[in-house]
């Protein structure tokens, strides 16, 4: 090895963003924490496939999304019937004033969950994380035109979900 | 009418040169488009802002170093155990709405006096709970809504206190002038039976994990209070 533990230092640099991406995809905090952890483990095991000189963040976000599709998502679906009513109810129980412009994490996660997955992941990458369209297209392995139209639809839906549309 | 995708691409800074200028000029001359741009910028900013607390949570990145797969597995099962006892990361993460809605909401009816609040992504004691942790001695044996149980120092040297109320129990540790909530456990009431909250095995496990040395006795507790729990 040329430098000590390059994986750990790459991971540490991107870790807060990776967790945020997991929170934007997942149904709840427990799933999100598991997702980020599992993505990190999978990336560590596949680190020899990472091409030096390319973006580590794009690479590990792509892994995270794959883990999401392969494992956590199906787990969430199985248990999805347990929570939604309660979660919806909690939106009305926010102890901070509903008139404040800021929305909290719980409300944002619920809104994201209501988006179709293909829109949610695009919103998570571009609006939440700030990836460009091209990087998002590469991470999701889709043409830019597809990314752009999913983003447009997701945005319109968010306006309504976050209370701006009505 | 402008093409939606073109408009959004401009909004996201994805257009360059002439194309960007053209759209900018059209938006500048159209109050409706301006309002729309403003609305979408605001929603995007709100969404980003809502996820900010995740970036700020002090959750260290896993380190792999020379770790092998077996280690990772055992770490995961440890984590799962912690998770079943609602360890800190999960709680801190969902601080704002969910935690308060589910457990803290049960501590009191009056939500403006909720005993647990989220500040900067951390759960902290507030109102009656903050007061009880600040001033109440376990040895007082009073009948208050919130009772303080054990007081001890954790491995960082901070003072922690366990507490319980009708709705459940938890652990708070001193941080600056306040109390960070390190764990909250809903009561396990079933039918007429309600476990004495202080006996919750999940709380006991958390205390066990955090305690360094012995719990304070009555004299140590009193003198710690006199020194403002430092």
CA angle A140, B59, A8 (to 5 degrees): 65
Which tens digits make up the pLDDT trace of A46-67? 999 999 889 999 999 999 999 9
- Report CA dihedral (B12, B13, B15, B19) to the nearest 10 degrees: 100
For residue A27, give the nearest of A79, A95, A91 by alpha carbon: A79
The angle formed by the CA atoms of residues A13, B88 and A14, to the nearest 5 degrees, is: 10
Tell me the C-alpha to C-alpha distance, in Å, between residue B111 and each of A29, A70, B187: 23, 40, 19
Given CB atoms, is B45 within the 8 Å cutoff of chain A?
no
Q: How confident is the model at residue A78 (pLDDT cuts 50, 70, 90)?
A: low
Which of A94, A102, A162 has the CB atom closest to B97's CB atom? A94
Segment of A46-55, A151-160, B167-176 carrying the highest mean pLDDT: A151-160
pLDDT at A131: 97
Chain B residues near residue A146 by CB distance under 8 angstroms: none
d(CA B185, CA B202): 7
Enter the tokens of residue B137: 């001695």
> For B33-44, how does the pLDDT look when each residue is reduced to its tens digit (9 = 90+)?
999 999 999 999
The CATH architecture of the domain made up of A1-82 is Orthogonal Bundle (1.10)
Tokens 């997701």 found at: A154
Could you tell me the residue range of the domain that residue B131 belongs to?
86-226
Taking 60 as the threshold, does the pLDDT of residue B179 lie above it? yes
Higher pLDDT, B195 or A34: A34
**Judgement on whether residues B97 and B175 belong to the same structural domain of the protein:** yes
When divided into structural domains, chain B yields a total of 2
Q: In which band, very low, low, confident or very high, does the pLDDT at A143 lie, cut at 50, 70 and 90? A: very high
Closest CA to A39 of A58, B119, A162, A84: A58
Whether residue B39 lies within 8 A of chain A, CB to CB, comes out as: yes
Alpha carbon A31 to its chain centroid, in Å, reads 11
Reported as a single tens digit per residue, the pLDDT across B83-125 is 444 444 444 444 433 334 444 444 434 445 677 777 766 778 8
Position B70 in a domain: no
Global model pTM greater than 0.90? no
Q: Does B100 touch chain A (CB under 8 A)?
A: yes
Name the CATH architecture for the domain at A85-166: Orthogonal Bundle (1.10)
If residue B203 lies in a helix (H) or strand (E), which one and from where to where?
helix B201-210
Q: Residue A153 is inside which H or E element, if any? A: helix A144-161
Q: What is the distance between the alpha carbons of residues A145 and A71, in angstroms, rounded to a whole number?
A: 28
CA atoms within 13 A on the CB side of A143: 3
Please give the average per-residue pLDDT across B23-48, as a whole number.
Answer: 95
The closest alpha carbon to B125, from B150, B138, B107, belongs to B107
Closest CA to A90 of A115, A76, A112, A110: A110
Residue B11 token pair: 């909004």
Residue with tokens 């209501």: A114
Domain ranges (residues) in chain A = 1-82, 85-166
A140 pLDDT exceeds 50? yes
Same domain, B45 and B96: no
Q: Which residues of A touch B83 (CB under 8 A)?
A: 30, 33
Helix (H) or strand (E) holding B62: none
Instruction: Mark whether B90 and B174 lie in a shared domain.
Output: yes
């Amino acid at each position: 090895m040329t430098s000590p533990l390059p994986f750990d230092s790459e991971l540490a640099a991107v870790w807060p963003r990776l967790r945020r991406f997991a929170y934007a995809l997942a149904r709840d905090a427990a799933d999100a924490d598991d997702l980020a952890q599992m993505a990190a483990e999978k990336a560590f095991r596949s680190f020899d496939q990472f091409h030096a000189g390319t973006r580590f963040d794009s690479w590990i976000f792509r892994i995270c999304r794959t883990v999401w599709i392969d494992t956590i998502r199906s787990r969430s679906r199985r248990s999805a019937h347990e929570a939604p009513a309660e979660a919806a109810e909690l939106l009305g129980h926010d102890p901070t004033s509903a008139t404040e412009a800021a929305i909290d994490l719980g409300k944002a996660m619920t809104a994201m969950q209501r988006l179709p997955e293909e829109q949610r992941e695009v919103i998570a990458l571009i609006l939440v994380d700030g990836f460009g369209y091209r990087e998002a297209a590469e991470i999701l392995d889709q043409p830019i035109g597809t990314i752009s139209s999913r983003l447009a639809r997701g945005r319109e839906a968010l306006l309504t979900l976050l209370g701006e549309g009505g | 009418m402008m093409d939606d995708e073109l408009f959004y691409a401009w909004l996201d800074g994805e257009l360059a040169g002439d194309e960007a200028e053209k759209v900018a000029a059209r938006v500048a001359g159209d109050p409706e488009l301006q309002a729309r741009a403003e609305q979408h910028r605001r929603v995007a900013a709100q969404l980003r802002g809502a996820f900010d607390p995740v970036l700020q949570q002090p959750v260290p990145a896993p380190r792999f170093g020379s770790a092998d797969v077996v280690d990772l597995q055992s770490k995961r099962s440890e984590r799962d155990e912690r998770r079943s006892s609602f360890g800190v990361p999960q709680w801190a993460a969902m601080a704002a709405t969910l935690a308060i809605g589910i457990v803290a909401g049960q501590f009191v009816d009056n939500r403006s006096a909720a005993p647990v609040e989220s500040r900067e992504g951390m759960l902290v004691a507030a109102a009656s709970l903050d007061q009880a942790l600040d001033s109440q001695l376990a040895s007082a044996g009073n009948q208050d809504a919130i009772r303080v149980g054990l007081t001890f120092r954790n491995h960082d040297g901070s003072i922690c206190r366990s507490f319980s109320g009708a709705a459940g129990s938890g652990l708070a540790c001193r941080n600056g002038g306040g109390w960070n909530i390190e764990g909250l456990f809903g009561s396990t009431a079933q039918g007429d039976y309600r476990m004495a909250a202080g006996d919750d095995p999940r709380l006991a496990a958390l205390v066990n994990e955090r305690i360094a040395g012995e719990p304070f006795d009555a004299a140590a507790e009193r003198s710690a209070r006199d020194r403002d729990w430092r």
